[in-house]
């Protein structure tokens, strides 16, 4: 387990009360995992957005982070993390779309190792520095094409994808361990469905988790 400096007492402009309100909102919308809710409470989301947007960091909404990307809505981060960890057995998680690192920071203390792929080098550089400042060291990063995954360290017990595709990429399915779980948005803009894929040894089973709106998973590095 890693620790996040500052804990839930509040860092800088934020307070425990502000974070508790967000957690109660997520609980009222169906998030049940206390592990996930505690991570949402603990991670200083205001450090993952521009200073001008820090006052909105604990609203349950997506916010721009530059380069045409967004920090995901806390409910969606919680939903994806809860789906990934439900019955999770294993150690390694592949994350496609590091972004600003918020999802990474929520997940890092509760899994042994994360391998994270991001196609925008400048975004990745800032995120690596930010996570180091939060004492998160169990994440390995690579700039590159999310469609290709990261075969070197496969198979993965879990895969989490923070961008949408029309179908689940075959190369990601190939890198999912038997018994593993993959969570990602699937579908065209306006009709995306958060989807859970379970690798049931001989087959893959897909389950819808609700409508979402994500930036597209862009092929190529």
3-state secondary structure of 112: coil
Tokens of 145: 């094409």
pLDDT value of residue 3: 41
Domains in the chain with CATH codes: 64-212 (3.40.50.150)
- The pLDDT assigned to 15 comes to 76
Cα–Cα distance list, 8 to 45, 60, 90, 174, 179 (Å): 12, 18, 27, 39, 34
Q: Can you give the pLDDT at residue 12?
A: 44
Beta bridge partners of 210: 194
CA angle 70, 167, 155 (to 5 degrees): 85
Enter the tokens of residue 69: 């990307």
> pLDDT truncated to tens, each residue of the chain (221 aa)?
444 433 333 344 467 889 999 999 999 999 999 999 999 999 999 999 988 999 899 999 999 998 889 999 999 999 999 999 998 888 999 999 999 999 999 999 999 999 999 999 999 999 999 999 999 999 999 999 999 999 999 999 999 999 999 999 999 999 999 999 999 999 998 899 999 999 998 899 999 999 999 989 988 64
- Is the whole-model pTM more than 0.85? yes
- Sequence-distant (6+) residues with CB within 8 A of 65 are 48, 49, 50, 71, 99, 100, 123
- State residue 115 phi and psi, 5-degree precision: -115, 115
Specify whether 72 is catalytic.
Answer: yes
Q: Which of 33, 42, 72, 116 is catalytic?
A: 72
């Amino acid at each position: 387990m890693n620790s996040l400096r500052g804990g839930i007492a509040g860092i800088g402009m934020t307070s425990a009360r502000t974070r508790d309100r967000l957690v109660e909102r997520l609980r009222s919308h169906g998030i049940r995992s206390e592990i996930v809710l505690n991570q949402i409470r603990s991670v200083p989301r205001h450090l993952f957005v521009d200073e001008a947007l820090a006052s909105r960091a604990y609203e349950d909404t997506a916010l721009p982070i530059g380069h045409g990307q967004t920090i995901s809505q806390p409910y969606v981060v919680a939903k994806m993390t809860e789906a990934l960890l439900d019955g999770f057995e294993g150690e390694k998680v592949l994350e496609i779309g590091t972004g600003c690192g918020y999802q990474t920071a929520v997940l890092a203390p509760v899994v042994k190792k994360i391998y994270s792929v991001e196609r925008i080098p400048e975004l990745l550089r800032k995120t690596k520095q930010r996570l180091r400042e939060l004492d998160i060291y169990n994440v390995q990063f690579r700039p590159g094409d999310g469609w290709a995954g990261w075969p070197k360290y496969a198979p993965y017990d879990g895969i989490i994808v923070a961008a949408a595709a029309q179908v689940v990429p075959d190369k990601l399915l190939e890198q999912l361990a038997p018994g593993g779980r993959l969570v990602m948005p699937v579908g065209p803009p306006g009709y995306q469905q958060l989807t859970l894929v379970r690798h049931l040894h001989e087959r893959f089973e897909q389950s819808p988790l609700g409508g979402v709106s994500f930036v597209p998973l862009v092929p190529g590095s």
